[in-house]
Amino acid sequence: MLTLFPEMFSGYLGQGHLKRAIDAGLVQIELANLRDFGLGRHRQVDDRPYGGGPGMVLMAPVVVECVEAVQSLAQRPAHVVLLTPRGQRLDQKVVEGLAGRERLLLLCGRYEGFDERVRKILQPEEISIGDFVLNGGEVAAMVVIDAVIRLVPGVLGDEDSSRQDSFSGQERRLEHDQYTRPREYRGLSVPEVLLSGDHEAIARWRHEEGLARTKRERSDLLGQNQTEPPPAAPYFD
Ligand code: 6GU
């Protein structure tokens, strides 16, 4: 992770699945501060845009030399990702592509953006998390990490649960509804079938519910890759 604000990551890295994965050695995350590569006595990282206009632009030498310093620490170069609203939209397919890489170098921008020569020199994969503007790439980088580490074997307790997630595999559709105790709450009951113990009926119900919800709320996901109902494997809780 290359950022001007490494401290933004500490809360996120210290919690939950990610902390456990790091402690178990399944995932390794290193932070590099772009400021360390700043120029001059003031460690300047940005400057006013040529041609005028508002805001500040991250300087190419700062970013390029930080990336090169980080790359030189390992034998094989990491896959370089630039977080920017100009990038390709992140979706589960992109996440799967990133998860297949041995190592990622996530480059978080701030201010009005990067000097264009950063792109020309580093030729990064550019990723956006949606059509809206954030103050910087840090939150987007956390989104990327969060989605990618779910696909690292052993990170989730239950080996199956990432494959059953919405959008996983070829099945681009929403997950079925979930219920837990109590059986009735404010007059709303848990669907009978879920209490039936009939695993085949439950699997069928879940498949149909997920499909119906997808049609109702995210019909854009449907089209190709409609799959058969899952086998009636029992669910152990
Ligand atoms: Cl990756 N960065 C910034 N600054 N804004 C964004 C974004 C990234 N994705 C959506 N908006």
Tens of pLDDT along 115-141? 999 999 999 999 999 999 999 999 999
pLDDT surpassing 50 at residue 102? yes
The reported pTM is 0.88
Query: In the structure, what pLDDT confidence band is assigned to residue 156 with cuts at 50, 70 and 90?
Result: confident
65, 165, 175, 177: which one is catalytic?
165
Q: Please, what is the average pLDDT of the chain? A: 91
Which letter, b or e, does each residue of 23-62 get, where b requires 16 or more Cβ atoms within 10 Å of its Cβ?
A: eeeebeeeebbbeebbeeeeeebbeeeeeeeeeebbbbeb
pLDDT surpassing 70 at residue 160? no
Please indicate whether residue 106, judged by its CB atom, sits closer than 6 Å to ligand 1.
no
pLDDT surpassing 50 at residue 235? no
pLDDT surpassing 50 at residue 236? no
Atom of ligand 1 nearest to the CA of 136: 4
pLDDT surpassing 60 at residue 72? yes
Please indicate whether residue 104, judged by its CB atom, sits closer than 6 Å to ligand 1.
no
Distance (Å, whole) CA 73 – CA 71: 5
By mean pLDDT, which of 31-45, 90-104, 218-232 is the weakest? 218-232
Six-digit token pair at 118?
């950063």
Q: What percent of the chain has pLDDT over 70?
A: 89
pLDDT surpassing 70 at residue 224? no
For 37-53, the pLDDT digits (tens) are: 999 999 999 999 999 99
Q: What is the pLDDT of residue 162?
A: 66
| pLDDT average, residue stretch 92-106 | 97
Q: Which domains does the chain have, with CATH numbers?
A: 2-149 (3.40.1280.10), 164-221 (1.10.1270.20)
Atom of ligand 1 nearest to the CA of 134: 5
Distance (Å, whole) CA 181 – CA 95: 33
Decide if 160 is catalytic. Answer: no
Please indicate whether residue 105, judged by its CB atom, sits closer than 6 Å to ligand 1.
no
8 Å CB contact between 80 and 67? yes
| pLDDT average, residue stretch 19-43 | 96
pLDDT surpassing 80 at residue 158? no
pLDDT surpassing 50 at residue 206? yes
